[in-house]
């Protein structure tokens, strides 16, 4: 495949620099970009753009996002392929990621005619009280390699209709996807006309660039997706200047499988959630908590299902598992499996494959690890396809296991019992931001608020009322009478 032709079709200009993009499919270099020397220029330009953009009526801002959705529709197959080439996720998932961008754009266009505030009853006669949502200011969006385009879109589509400029710092591993998306944004902006320069920008660089954005007082909101360690490094810096952050950090997602579960459906759901994206989603299923009465049966079925997985070139139809992003991911996976063996776990799969085809690429067979009991090693998120299986006898025990990790992103229960399902969803059930019944923890639609608690960072992005994080709220009290009654009945008269 000629990558340059693909990039040309997507309107990505030639570039070169210290940040090298490699395709995890075969380990080859597919391009490079230069790091942004400092972010001040970008933040200043975003500040200027904000002055103009906040005065544009929201539905007009929505028009830019609507045109972006059109560009994305037209470029879907090319951009989806680029996502596959740069991240190694299978083409179905690369295309799915672009669809997720289109969906959030459509959502944001509708939102651009809403952005509702409440009107509240006031205690004073001839007064009215209401709230108004206003644009917040420049938003910095730091994204990870595994969703190199969709996570930007969740943030940018909302931020733009809310009236904010966006500065994007993509992962150093996926700069070409960022350039391709930026080219589509520029095309949409050109078609609409009158868009302030600096409204949408991309900056490149590693942790130093992210830190510079976190520290900059011109960034009103830092939205960061990535590891918990990254979030813990950036959030205190934003907090130190009383800025806002929106964190989407690690997950360590579990599924509880109850005796009444439909095991055929469960196996299919587990497979997509545990081995999809080669285990490199923040929502990947990492822990399977199975009722002891069905555990042996389910593990057998899963072993059979794992054995039938097609691993290989993610561009080929039929492949379900592509490569890991690189060697460090493979090494981390092997260390976790070694620790699991030492803890008495029975490890099925997990070895390196395809090495004969591509010596510089890192393909791993997904691993199923039958654990003798809960182990501290299961408290860590290893960004690779490892599924630990443990047993339970009572639902309370299963919920405690689901919640007994530092992270709190996504969770599922498989059951046909209404009481079990509702208990899992209740206040004393799963403590995660996402709790599902009879579907796996990954693959959320954009319409819901996406995010999680505890070490996952507490942020909510995408649907529902997540837009509010990108706006500031003003409470307005209006006196349309001639008297000046004070709240709380206070008398203050000469």
Active centre residues (catalytic)? 248
- Comparing CB distances to ligand UN1, the nearer of 218 and 440 is 440
Residues 190-249 that bind ligand UN1 (CB under 6 A): 225
Interface pick for ligand UN1 out of 133, 147, 358, 467 (rule CB under 6 A): 147
Minimum gap (Å) between residue 151 Cβ and ligand UN1: 6
If binding means CB under 6 A, how many residues of this protein chain bind ligand UN1?
10
Interface pick for ligand UN1 out of 146, 382, 407, 423 (rule CB under 6 A): 146
Minimum gap (Å) between residue 283 Cβ and ligand UN1: 4
Q: Quick one: CA torsion of 316, 282, 265, 448, rounded to 10 degrees?
A: -110
| 294 is a site residue for ligand UN1 (CB under 6 A) | no
- Comparing CB distances to ligand UN1, the nearer of 374 and 443 is 443
- Comparing CB distances to ligand UN1, the nearer of 111 and 444 is 444
Minimum gap (Å) between residue 38 Cβ and ligand UN1: 28
- Comparing CB distances to ligand UN1, the nearer of 201 and 436 is 436
| 281 is a site residue for ligand UN1 (CB under 6 A) | yes
Per-residue contact string for residues 384-423; x = within reach of ligand UN1 by CB under 6 A: ----------------------------------------
Minimum gap (Å) between residue 118 Cβ and ligand UN1: 30
Task: Tell me the window of 2-10, 62-70, 397-405, 439-447 that interacts with ligand UN1 (CB under 6 A).
Answer: 439-447
| 444 is a site residue for ligand UN1 (CB under 6 A) | yes
| 274 is a site residue for ligand UN1 (CB under 6 A) | no
Task: Tell me the window of 65-73, 159-167, 277-285, 378-386 that interacts with ligand UN1 (CB under 6 A).
Answer: 277-285
| Cα atoms in the 13 Å half-sphere on the side-chain side of 362 | 17
Task: Tell me the window of 287-295, 394-402, 440-448, 463-471 that interacts with ligand UN1 (CB under 6 A).
Answer: 440-448
| 283 is a site residue for ligand UN1 (CB under 6 A) | yes
- Comparing CB distances to ligand UN1, the nearer of 192 and 449 is 449
Minimum gap (Å) between residue 188 Cβ and ligand UN1: 23
- Comparing CB distances to ligand UN1, the nearer of 144 and 340 is 144
- Comparing CB distances to ligand UN1, the nearer of 146 and 266 is 146
Interface pick for ligand UN1 out of 442, 454, 457, 460 (rule CB under 6 A): 442
Using only C-alpha atoms, what is the Rg of the chain? 24
Q: What is the 3-state secondary structure (H, E, C) of the chain?
A: CCHHHHHHHCCCCCCCCCEEEECCCCCCEEEEECCCCCCHHHHHHHHHHHHHHCCCCHHHHHHHHHHHHHHHHHHHHHHHHHHHHHHCCCHHHHHHHHHHHHHHHHHHHHHCCCCCCCEECCCCCCEEEEEEEEECCCEEEECCCCCCCHHHHHHHHHHHHCCCCEEEECCCCCHHHHHHHHHHHHHHHHHHCCCCCCCEEECCCCHHHHHHHHHCCCCCEEEEECCHHHHHHHHHHHHHCCCEEEEECCCCEEEEECCCCCHHHHHHHHHHHHHHHHHCCCCCEEEEEEECCCHHHHHHHHHHHHHCCCECCCCCCCCCECCCCCHHHHHHHHHHHHHHHHCCCEEECCCEECCCCCCCCCEECCEEEECCCCCHHHHCCCCCCEEEEEEECCHHHHHHHHHCCCEECEEEEECCCHHHHHHHHCCCCCCCCEEEECCCCCCCCCCCEECCEECCCCCCEECCCHHHHHEEEEEEEEECCCCCCCHHHCCCCC
List of residues 6+ apart from 230 with CB closer than 8 A: 142, 207, 210, 224, 249
| 145 is a site residue for ligand UN1 (CB under 6 A) | no
| 152 is a site residue for ligand UN1 (CB under 6 A) | no
| 282 is a site residue for ligand UN1 (CB under 6 A) | yes
Minimum gap (Å) between residue 281 Cβ and ligand UN1: 4
Q: What are phi and psi of 348, to 5 degrees?
A: -110, 125
| 95 is a site residue for ligand UN1 (CB under 6 A) | no
- Comparing CB distances to ligand UN1, the nearer of 93 and 370 is 93
Residues at the site binding ligand UN1, with contacts judged by CB under 6 A: 146-147, 151, 225, 281-283, 442-444
């Amino acid at each position: 495949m000629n990558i340059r032709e693909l990039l040309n079709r997507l309107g990505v200009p030639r570039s070169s620099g210290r940040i090298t993009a490699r395709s995890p499919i075969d380990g080859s270099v597919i391009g490079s970009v230069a790091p942004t020397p400092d972010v001040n220029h970008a933040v200043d330009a975003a500040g200027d753009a904000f002055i103009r953009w906040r005065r544009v009526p929201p539905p007009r801002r929505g028009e830019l996002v609507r045109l972006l959705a059109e560009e994305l529709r037209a470029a879907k197959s090319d951009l989806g392929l680029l996502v596959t080439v740069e991240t190694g996720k299978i083409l179905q998932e690369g295309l799915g990621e672009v669809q997720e961008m289109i969906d959030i754009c459509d959502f944001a266009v509708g939102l651009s005619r809403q952005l509702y505030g409440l009107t509240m009853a006031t205690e004073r006669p001839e007064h009215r009280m209401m709230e108004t949502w206003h644009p917040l200011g420049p938003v910095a969006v730091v994204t990870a390699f595994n969703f190199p385009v969709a996570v930007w879109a969740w943030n940018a589509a909302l931020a733009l209709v809310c009236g904010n400029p966006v500065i994007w710092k993509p992962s150093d591993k996926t700069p070409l996807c960022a350039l391709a998306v930026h080219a589509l944004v520029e095309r949409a902006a050109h078609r609409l006309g009158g868009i302030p320069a600096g409204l949408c920008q991309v900056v490149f660089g590693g942790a130093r660039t992210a830190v510079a954005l976190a520290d900059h007082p011109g960034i009103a909101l830092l939205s960061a997706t990535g590891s918990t360690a990254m979030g813990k490094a950036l959030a205190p810096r934003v907090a130190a200047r009383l800025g806002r952050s929106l964190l989407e950090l690690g997950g360590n997602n579990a599924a509880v499988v109850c005796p009444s579960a439909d095991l055929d459906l469960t196996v299919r759901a587990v497979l997509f959630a545990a081995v999809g994206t080669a285990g490199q989603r923040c929502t990947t299923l990492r822990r399977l908590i199975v009722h002891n009465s069905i555990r042996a049966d389910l593990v057998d079925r899963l072993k059979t299902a794992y054995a039938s997985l097609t691993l290989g070139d993610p561009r080929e139809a039929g492949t379900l598992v592509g490569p890991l992003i690189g060697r460090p991911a493979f090494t981390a996976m092997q260390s976790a499996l070694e620790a699991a063996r030492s803890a008495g776990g029975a490890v099925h799969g997990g070895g390196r494959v395809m090495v004969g085809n591509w010596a510089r690429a890192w393909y791993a067979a997904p691993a199923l690890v039958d654990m003798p009991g809960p182990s501290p090693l299961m408290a860590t998120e290893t960004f690779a396809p490892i599924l630990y299986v443990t047993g339970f006898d009572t639902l309370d025990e299963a919920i405690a296991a689901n919640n007994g990790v530092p992270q709190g992103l996504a969770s599922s229960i498989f059951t046909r019992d209404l009481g079990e399902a509702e208990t899992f969803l209740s206040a004393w059930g799963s403590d995660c931001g996402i709790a599902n019944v009879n579907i796996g923890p990954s693959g959320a639609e954009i319409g819901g608020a996406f995010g999680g608690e505890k070490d996952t960072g507490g942020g909510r992005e995408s649907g529902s009322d997540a837009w509010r994080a990108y706006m500031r709220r003003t409470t307005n009290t209006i006196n349309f009478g001639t008297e000046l009654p004070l709240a709380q009945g206070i008398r203050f008269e000469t």
